[in-house]
Amino acid sequence: MYNLIEMDKQINIQEALDWYLWAGVDETCSDLPCLTAQKSFKVSVPSPAVAPAVSAKPTISVQSFSAVSKNARELCAKAQSLQELRDIMLNFEGCNLKKTAASTVFGDGADKARVMLIGEAPGADEDRIGKPFVGRCGKLLDKMFQAIQLERSECYITNVLPWRPPGNRTPTDDEIAVCLPFLKRQIELIEPDFILLLGGISLKSVMDTADSISRTRGKWLEYTISSGKKINVLATYHPSYLLRSTAQKSKVWADLLRLKIKIKEMHNI
Ligand code: URA
């Protein structure tokens, strides 16, 4: 960023913040200020004259993108445990999102969990703390699960993307495709009986469908892993959507009851 820190030394901090906002800077990449020249990683900042809008997509050519994606699949296939997969993810440099994220947020929970929850991507709190669903959405998720007497410790919680998209923007299809092998390998290693997909991105990515979350939520689907095991899948609205549209709570409640009933049928509890 064009010597913003140097500017700070000369002008009032409030004026500097106003200026950042006016210039469209509404997100920080880190809690600590730094000069780009001192960064240990390379972020390709275009020259100001041709600077694209903030929402511009990362540029990976089709060829290099498919190579990166293939490489991710091959690397993930080698992982025989969640720990190995986590190490592979920590060393993986094929996704641009890693460059702006503070943490690599791997899944969390029991490695033989019967229920797996899949969200979209870490938010600001998750990025800072390094665990999935620890912010406002996570608190709501905890309450939702308490309501059906399911403890967080009995579940495994993860996201389609382990890196936070800047400003919580929607991930691109390329970013999803590069990260998907990590999620799919987590599913294979855990072999849960149930997957709850939280939101449209999770539904689209895992089930490879263009159907909307509003039409698909509440219907039982099936996901088959390489061992041949068929996993019961249910999609529901994302907690962040519920925080904005409380009117949808009753639908999510109905979906959670569906899940609870099916768990009872299968495990006789
Ligand atoms: N939203 C998500 O989809 N995942 C998180 O971990 C937090 C918020």
Q: How far apart are CA 28 and CA 184, in angstroms?
A: 31
The pair of three-digit structure tokens given for residue 45, joined into one six-digit string? 């900042």
Q: What angle do CA 79, 236, 267 make, to 5 degrees?
A: 65
pLDDT at 48 over 90: no
Q: How confident is the model at residue 28 (pLDDT cuts 50, 70, 90)?
A: low
pLDDT in tens, 12-26: 777 777 777 766 676
φ/ψ bin of 149: left (φ > 0), alpha (ψ from -120 to 50), beta (otherwise): left
Q: Which of 117, 133, 197 gets mutated to test ligand 1 (max ligand atoms within 8 A of its CB)?
A: 133
pLDDT at 90 over 50: yes
Q: Which of 103, 104, 131, 159 gets mutated to test ligand 1 (max ligand atoms within 8 A of its CB)?
A: 159
Q: How confident is the model at residue 44 (pLDDT cuts 50, 70, 90)?
A: very low
pTM of the model: 0.80
pLDDT at 55 over 60: no
Residue 119 Cβ inside 6 Å of ligand 1? The answer reads yes
Residue 65 Cβ inside 6 Å of ligand 1? The answer reads no
Q: How far is the CA of 117 from the centre of ligand 1 (A)?
A: 10
Atom of ligand 1 nearest to the CA of 239: 1
Q: How far is the CA of 12 from the centre of ligand 1 (A)?
A: 36
